Amino acid sequence: MFIITPVSSESAASSVGLVLMFVIVPLFGFSASLLIPSSLALVNAKFRRATFFFGKFWYCVWGINSFFSLAYLAVGLYFSYLYLTVGYGN
């Protein structure tokens, strides 16, 4: 894991920022985009019956999708809050 301390060089701090910007954030975006079709399929009861998506396993998948969707929403709202409060210097 990258540990940034006050004595770290500026290049080490910027490289961690680049990894976050070009690797971690796109992976989270890709993960969030994969949740949308499966969540929509699991919400529709008629579709679940037609494709045999019922049982404890699929309800567990639906719960995990819901958890990640709420987590992404909470993180997005938190970053929006930070942008509005810190970004404008309120």
pTM: 0.59
Report the sign of the C-alpha dihedral through residues 29, 32, 36, 38, in that order: positive
Residue that is written with structure tokens 């719960």 in the block: 63
Q: Cα(74)–Cα(19) distance, rounded to whole angstroms? A: 22
Q: How far apart are the first and last CA of the chain?
A: 34
pLDDT digit string (tens) for 6-27? 766 677 667 777 877 788 888 8
Specify the higher pLDDT residue, 43 or 14. Answer: 43
Burial class, 22, CB count within 10 angstroms (exposed 0-12 / middle 13-18 / buried 19+): exposed
Reported as a single tens digit per residue, the pLDDT across 33-42 is: 888 888 888 8
